[in-house]
């Protein structure tokens, strides 16, 4: 993950922040379209799902902000990955979440979602997912 990648991800994330709440709604819609069976892992309660969207948004914001300090970010992602294994999340789900995330960014950024921005997010999400999966499997 080089500094250009980090800059592209941080700058594009800033652009979607004003519509973050809407983007989170789109994200879960896309995820449940890609794999309807994962919906059962999430709370069915509407208010709880609202909290879940906020938690994901905040964690993504923290991760994006922390990309230039991976030493600090990695243990946070490892803890998150271990908890995810206990939620019933399987390694294969990470690709589905990655696809939902990319298409949400595409919807939110429009023309600003350039091939370079897509590649940067693919790289960054790949590192995050890999770190979480490995930590979840080591339990």
75 binds ligand HEM (CB under 6 A): no
Number of residues that bind ligand HEM (CB under 6 A): 20
Q: How far apart are CA 115 and CA 109, in angstroms?
A: 12
Instruction: Tell me the per-residue interface mask from 39 to 58 with ligand HEM, x by CB under 6 A, - otherwise.
Output: --xxx--------x--xx--
Q: How far is CA 127 from CA 1, 24, 32, 70, in A?
A: 8, 21, 23, 10
Give whichever of 32 and 107 is closer to ligand HEM, judged by the CB atom. Answer: 32
Q: Is the dihedral of CA 32, 30, 80, 20 positive or negative?
A: negative
Tokens of 70: 């991976």
Range list of H helices, the chain:
3-16, 20-34, 46-65, 70-86, 91-109, 115-137
117 binds ligand HEM (CB under 6 A): no
93 binds ligand HEM (CB under 6 A): yes
Give whichever of 73 and 117 is closer to ligand HEM, judged by the CB atom. Answer: 73
1 binds ligand HEM (CB under 6 A): no
Q: How far apart are CA 92 and CA 36, in angstroms?
A: 14
87 binds ligand HEM (CB under 6 A): yes
Give whichever of 47 and 111 is closer to ligand HEM, judged by the CB atom. Answer: 47
Site of interaction with ligand HEM (CB under 6 A): 38, 41-43, 52, 55-56, 59-60, 80, 83-84, 87, 89, 93-94, 97, 128-129, 132
């Amino acid at each position: 993950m080089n500094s250009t990648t980090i800059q592209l991800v941080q700058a594009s994330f800033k652009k979607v922040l004003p519509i973050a709440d809407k983007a989170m709604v789109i994200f879960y819609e896309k995820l449940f379209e890609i794999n309807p069976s994962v919906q059962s892992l999430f709370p069915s309660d509407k208010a709880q799902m609202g909290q879940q969207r906020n938690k994901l948004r905040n964690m993504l914001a923290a991760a994006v902000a922390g990309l230039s300090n991976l030493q600090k970010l990695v243990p946070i992602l490892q803890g998150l990955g271990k908890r995810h294994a206990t939620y019933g999340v399987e390694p294969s789900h990470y690709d589905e979440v990655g696809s939902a995330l990319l298409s949400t960014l595409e919807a939110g950024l429009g023309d600003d979602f350039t091939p370079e921005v897509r590649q940067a997010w693919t790289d960054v999400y790949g590192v995050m997912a890999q770190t979480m999966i490995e930590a979840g499997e080591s339990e």
